[in-house]
Amino acid sequence: MLQVLASAWALLLGMGMLMIGNGLQGTLLGVRGGIEGFSTFEMSVVMSAYFVGFLGGSRLAPDLIRRVGHVRVFAALASFISAVMILYPVYASPWVWALGRVVVGFCFSGVYVVAESWLNNAASNENRGKALSLYMIVQMTGIVSAQGLLLVADPAGYVTFVIASVIISISFAPILLSITPTPAFDTTQPMTLAELMRVSPLGCVGMFLLGGCFAAMFGMSAVYGAEVGLELSQISLFVATFYIGAVVMQYPLGFLSDRMDRRVLIVAVAAFGAAGSILGANLGGQFTMLLVAAFVIGGMCNPLYSLLLAYTNDYLDHEDMAAASGGLIFINGLGAITGPLIMGWLMEPGVLGPSGFFLFMAALLVIMAGYAIFRMTQRAAVPVDETGAFQQVMPTVTPVAMEVAQEVAIEADLEAEQEGDDTANAA
């Protein structure tokens, strides 16, 4: 781990600052939208727009990189992100913000593709798994740290937006000044959605439903906090708790994933997440219970992403895993675009009100658990000793990091098979 940190510290530092800027702008817009008097549906359009841009960027950024190179793409997209951050408070309109969020989502996706390909190039076969783990830790740390910056200045002013812009601008310095080799760039063509659905119906349906849950946590949690009248410090802690839960629960659930029928674990995790959502809907008026609900939801939903990926891999040949990962990211992105729009409508005063935030996530997770139970009646489980390795991946990654995760999983599988062969030969 220290070897990876020594060779890629500048890249990881820059990515950490990027995540701080990205995490801050999502929460800040949710709070500022409440101050400006935007409706929950208008804010849901703003939040959904980010995922429209992100999904488009993950598809188009590879072509841009091939045409003009990593450095030009990185610098150009960085400039757009920084500019949009400054423009948010100047043009306080939900439709202008939505357009800005499309641009920011597209640019962040492209920036992540560039950075993740550089990280992959800096890592060796021996430490690629550790590099990916560090990258995930940096991502989560950045998002959680960003929530503290929400308290630095009044969100009704300009200062916090300027801070986000400055952090993002500075983040590119350690990356561009320290990384000289430009990695070769190539990505695998994604598997068609029809093929992916035939291979793993549960993986596809689960990823779509999970996209809605993740978009709610990433975009609408601050909107909910503003709607129910939480103080700024409470909103900051509430949003951060979703990601703290994700960090704490990722490894225990990963440990269980490699030792039991993954569908049973998917049912249990989704059910616990739904229970946490119902808890928030009914006892959200008590701030302590609200934090408990956020911890449970974040702790269940984020690891589900890696769990569904590992489950899908159990039915794939090694050569098809990278192609499948691109399709799963696309399906998850479609859910992330759709989820906030439905949630924003449900949170309107004439429908369910603020409790729609939790009830919508509860519904998605109940559907996921129910569908997993149904799939258990349609196909026998893969024996535990034949399942692939669980690899931690967050919903914020692009196809580049997802393919790296698949490579690490394949290497782990091959090592396990080799150890089994050696044991059999020794016997």
CB 275 within 8 A of CB 301: no
Mind listing the pLDDT tens digit for each residue in 174-225? Answer: 777 765 555 555 556 667 788 889 888 999 999 999 999 988 888 899 999 9
Q: What pLDDT band is residue 87 in, cutting at 50, 70 and 90?
A: very high
Within a 10 A sphere around the Cβ of 261, how many other Cβ atoms? 17
pLDDT at 42 (0 to 100):
93
- pLDDT for 247 equals 84
End-to-end CA distance of the chain: 35
pLDDT in tens, 313-344: 888 877 777 777 778 888 888 999 999 999 99
Q: How sure is the predictor about 98, in pLDDT bands with cuts at 50, 70 and 90?
A: very high
Average of per-residue pLDDT values in the chain: 83
Residue 48 has a pLDDT of: 93
Question: How many structural domains is the chain composed of?
Answer: 1
Please report, rounded to a whole number, the percentage of residues in the chain having pLDDT higher than 70: 83
pLDDT tens string 103-123: 999 998 888 877 777 777 766
Higher pLDDT pick, 6 / 116: 116
What domain range includes position 70?
2-426
The CATH number for 102's domain is 1.20.1250.20
Count CA atoms closer than 13 A to 162's CA, side-chain side.
7
- Please write the tens of the pLDDT for every residue from 14-25: 888 888 988 898
Closest C-alpha to 94, from 340, 338, 339, 361: 340
